[in-house]
Structures are given as C-alpha cells and as structure tokens.
Amino acid sequence: MGEKNGRVCVTGAGGYVASWLIKILLSQGYDVHGTVRNPGDAKNAHLMNLENAAEKLKLFKADLMDFDSIRAAVKGCDGVFHVASPVPPTSVPNPEVELVEPALKGTLNVLKACSEEKKVRRVVIVSSVAAVMMNPNWPKDQLMDETCWSDAEYCKATNNWYCFSKTVAEAEAWEYAKKNGLDVVTVCPAFVLGPMLQHATNASSLALVKLLKEGYEEAENKVRKIVDVRDVAEALKLVYEKPEAEGRYICTAHTIKTQDMVQILREIYPNYNYPKRYKEGSDLAEMSSEKLQRLGWKYRTLKETLVDSYMLKYWPKSSLAQKPSSLDGGLSDLSPLGYPHHQPDPLPACVACLCGVCLCGSVWESCNRELGFAGLFACVALGSVKSGTGYLSLLLHLDPNL
C-alpha cells in the first residue's frame, strides 16, 4: 500500500461514491481502471472530464455478474476498490434477484478476480452501516462498533432487503478472504450526502431533495447517521494506503434527527416547502467511527455537507465564497417548488433546473448575472430547458439577432 502511483480498479465507477474516489485517486497520481456498464454512455461523461483522466483513467465495459469482464478490468492492478452495489431509491418487486444476488455474486466475482491477479495486494470493499445496525439484540445503551453485525434473518423478517444484501455480501467477502488469504478491508458508510459529480441523482441525495420540496404534512423524526461523500472517498483511500489498516471500519460523522436537520436546511434555504409536523421515530444505538479516526480520518461539518449537497455541482469556482443567502436569482413561475416569478431564492437559477423547471428570460438574466456561462452550461447539460419559450430566451440571449 503506501505507494501513491500504483494502478487500481474501481468498480461502479460512474456512481456517487466511486466518482469522488476516482477524482481523489487521479489527483494523487494513481492510474485507475473503472468499471461501468457502458463506457460510451453520457452518464459516465463526467469521469473523463476529471483532472488527469485523459492520461490515467481507463473505463472498462463490465458487469458484476460477468466474471470475465471483471477479471479484464482487474488485470494489472495493485489494488481494487469494490464500490458497486445496487442501491434502489424505492422498494423493488423481487429483492432476492434485484438486490441480493447482484450484491453477493458481484462481490464474489470481484474477489475471485483479485485472487487470480497476483499483483493485487489489498481489496477495499464498500459495505454499509446497514450491515452493522440492524441488530435487535444489541444493548441499546452500548456503543455500536465494528464487532456489531446486522442480523440477516431479522433484516428479511422486517423486509429490510438492502440491509440484508449488504450484510450477506460483506459476510461472504470475509469468509472468502479468510479461506483464500486475500487482504480485505471493508468500510461501512452511514447515510452519504454531499455534492454530486455524476448527473443522475442518487438515492441519498434524492431523499434530501424530498425533504426540501415535498411539503409533507407529517414526517418521521428519525435518527440519521450522516457522512460526506468526499469524506467517504478519503476513508477508502486511507484504508487502502495504510499498511496497518485491517478489518471493518464504520464511517459516520454526524448523528441528527430529521427535524433538527430540517432546521439547519431552513436556515440555509428558507423558502422551501418543508414538512409541517413530525412524529417521533425509533432511536438507534449510538455508533462510533473511532477506529477509522485513529487511522487518521477526519470529516467535515454537517452544515458544510448540506450546503455543498446543492452548491458545488452548479457553482463556478469564482463564486464558491458567496453564501447561498447572498444571491438574488429567481425561479420560473413554472417551478414545482411553488415560487412566484422573481421571488428571491437562495439557490442559483440553474439549480432550479434540477427540479425540471423551464427557464424564462428574466430567470436566465439572473442566472447569467450571478453565474455567467457556467450557469448556462449547467442548464443545458441537465437538459432542463424544455419549453419553447425557455429555449428561445436562451437562444436570444446568446444571439439577439435570431
């Protein structure tokens, strides 16, 4: 480990966590093999735009269920980060097939490929606190640490199929590693938030968007364990590089109830349609990342994570110093968030496009005033200018002679 210029493979390269991991690895001089279902798909274009990607990133067409495709991607690598795993935003009709089988067989295919590639010195697997916290027999007053495992049968009985899939996949990984002498380390992140590099909204970010805009009459005031996606990526690199890293690592930074998190969001973005009242949710046992912190891991503040969850993907670097409340951009009167036209909003106009609104001339003017062509680029890249009026206003702004 220790070396910063080796070649590593990252599975599920186009995903939320994997994209940030690849960004960090490339910045540190690693050569990266990334597995994606279709290298030519537009949803993976952000990867080749990363710094150093042209020279150091190679995308492989691979399917976790296809051993040969995984073996080709792992060939020549010194280490492997297995990040890919199905995370559906909603329940699925056949969880055994759609969740459990890909998680379990995919993990074993990756490990078998690593066993065949003798250069591989360490495999880092992204598990989840879902494989830690679903244990009804754990004492409520005892801090959960890496020795705690979710009860697989309890997960099935309560229809927590994602928890089940992560639990059995990680357990099988440890069994395989023990039998085959493979150096494996697992990282168990909590609820991951923060800025997205990919274009498609992931499940955890979507949950945050819903809190801002759905206007629930009542929401469950449940306890959330939160960690920043960038801090997860740093944790993965850390446990790969540190020779003394071993076993499991819980990766969580903040514990907060939904109502308290909404209050923070309301202070940052006051105009959204937040839940009107709350019902008490079940408490979770406290959980610690002390083991990971002893290895040298640090994490961001929760407020920074929540702000950046919306800001960084759409903000030009020159504007990063501005606070959200300093903006005077507006949303279209077509906005599903319910803003009247021209009403001041703490988000830039191009962020509104994420919600599917169409731009009108005056919104474009405010977007351009605050964001310049970066705002236009974000709007066009998201394919959000859907109405003739909005599209025409953009064209006229670019070329008044049209």
Identify the residue whose tokens are 């599917």.
356
> Which residues, in sequence order, are bridge partners of residue 192?
227
Between strands 7-10 and 79-82, the pairing is parallel
DSSP, collapsed to helix, strand or coil, labels residue 80 as strand
Establish whether 166 is a catalytic residue: yes
DSSP string, 173-215: HHHHHHHHT--EEEEEE-EEES--SSSSPPHHHHHHHHHHHS-
Q: What share of the chain is helix, strand, coil (3-state, %, to 5)?
A: 45, 15, 40
Out of 4, 56, 58, 166, pick the active-site residue: 166
Cα–Cα distance list, 216 to 265, 272, 278, 308, 337 (Å) = 15, 12, 9, 24, 13
What's the CA angle centered on 300, arms 297 and 301, to 5 degrees?
A: 140
Q: Cβ(33)–Cβ(56) under 8 Å?
A: no
Distance in angstroms (rounded) separating the CA atoms of residues 54 and 380: 24
**Neighbouring C-alpha atoms within 13 Å toward the C-beta of 204:** 23
Q: Is 40 exposed, middle or buried (0-12, 13-18, 19+ CB in 10 A)?
A: exposed
Residue 221: how many CA atoms within 13 Å on its side-chain side?
8
- Burial of 352: CB neighbours in 10 Å, binned 0-12, 13-18, 19+: buried
Q: Which amino acid is it at 262?
A: V
The token duo for 269 is 């973005």
Cα four-point dihedral sign 136, 138, 144, 145:
negative
Active-site annotation, residues: 166
